[in-house]
Amino acid sequence: MRIPIVAGNWKMNTSVAEAISKVESMKGPLEKIEGVDKVICPPFVSLFPLSNLLSSSSIKLGAQNVYFEEKGAFTGEISPLMLKDLCTYVILGHSERRGYFGEDDELINLKVRAVVKAGLLPILCVGESGEEKKEGRTEEVVGRQLRMALREVSLQPGLVIAYEPIWAIGKGIAASPEKADDICGFIRRVLQELYGDEGKETRIQYGGSVTEDNISSFVREENIDGALVGGASLEVEEFPHIVQKVAEAKGLK
Ligand code: PGA
């Protein structure tokens, strides 16, 4: 049985003080919800204070990016070793990193390997653009992104894949749950092809304009084990509601 997982990607939002205040507000409601893994991914500078605040909490932290080298002359970069004591997960391959910062499948693969080597867990994002969807290339694109990112990576039991169609991110227009489930099913088949039956146990999230109003329809689908939430994860009441709805839809509450 796959434990559902909801992660909040705060992107480039919140000062340290705002991050602390948001987590202080969400902590109580989130901790009451059992059976769902809860992850908050704030900006790097807030990881340290939040790791103290959440040291004995069931809420886990994730980073939004990392470099693949362990240390050295890489001005401005953060290494997996620096993150290891501060968080559990690292978001990799997000379409904003691919699009704005030119990250390609090869770089993402180096990052996945470095993260796994450091004992951290990737939340690996894959997803097609609106144009690729129109051209009927979703499976081709998502399949390539997965196979390249996971090249020479042994199966990590805690690995998370996030299916995020680029056209649905931050737009207020989510994918249809049935269509998202189809692609998550495809992802599961690729994982099985790469890792055998154990690969099928990997958790797959949907991401793209998830809110408290549409989350239930996604996680009721067979292949969707949770969500990667952007905008709505910054809302201190809505984010715990989303997690609660996941618990309800999966029959945990
Ligand atoms: P959104 O972002 O929920 O604001 O659409 C999702 C994401 O980019 O992870």
- Cα–Cα dist 53/1, whole Å: 30
Backbone Cα Rg of the chain: 17
Which token pair is 184?
A: 């998550």
Q: Each residue's pLDDT tens digit in the chain (253 positions)? A: 899 999 999 999 999 999 999 999 999 999 999 999 999 999 999 999 999 999 999 999 999 999 999 999 999 999 999 999 999 999 999 999 999 999 999 999 999 999 999 999 999 999 999 999 999 999 999 999 999 999 999 999 999 999 999 999 998 899 999 999 999 999 999 999 999 999 999 999 999 999 999 999 999 999 999 999 999 999 999 999 999 999 999 887 5
What pLDDT does residue 253 have? 58
Nearest one of 142, 186, 149 to 164, comparing CA atoms:
142
Closest alpha carbon to 6 in 233, 208, 191, 202: 233
Segment 53-101, tens digit of pLDDT? 999 999 999 999 999 999 999 999 999 999 999 999 999 999 999 999 9
* Residue 1, pLDDT score: 84
158 CA to centre of ligand 1 in angstroms: 21
> Which member of 128, 164, 212, 221 is catalytic?
164
| Cβ < 6 A, ligand 1 pocket | 9, 164, 169-170, 207-210, 228-232
Q: Which residue has a Cα nearest atom 3 of ligand 1? A: 230
Residue written as token pair 């599961």? 188
- Known catalytic residue at 94: yes
Q: Cα 90–94–99 angle (5° rounding)? A: 140
What is the 49 CA–ligand 1 centroid distance (Å)? 24
Domain 5-249 has CATH 3.20.20.70: yes
Per-residue H/E/C for the chain: CCCCEEEEECCCCCCHHHHHHHHHHHHHHHHHCCCCEEEEECCHHHHHHHHHHCCCCCEEEEECCCCCCCCCCCCCCCCHHHHCCCCCEEEECCHHHHHHCCCCHHHHHHHHHHHHHCCCEEEEEECCCHHHHHCCCHHHHHHHHHHHHCCCCCCCCCCEEEECCHHHCCCCCCCCHHHHHHHHHHHHHHHHHHHHHHHHHCEEEEECCCCCCCHHHHHCCCCCCEEEECHHHHCCCHHHHHHHHHHHHCCCC
Distance 233 CA to ligand 1 centre (A): 9
* CA 53 to ligand 1 centroid distance, Å: 25
Which sequence spans correspond to the domains of the chain?
5-249
CB of 153 within 8 A of CB of 191? no
**What is residue 251's predicted lDDT score, i.e. its pLDDT?**
86
From the number of C-beta atoms within 10 Å of its C-beta (0-12, 13-18, 19+), residue 119 rates as exposed
Q: What confidence score (pLDDT) does residue 107 get?
A: 98
Q: Which amino acid type is present at position 111? A: K
140 is a catalytic site residue:
no
Catalytic residue among 94, 96, 128, 238: 94
Max CA distance (Å), the chain: 50
> Which structure tokens are listed for 200?
């099928």
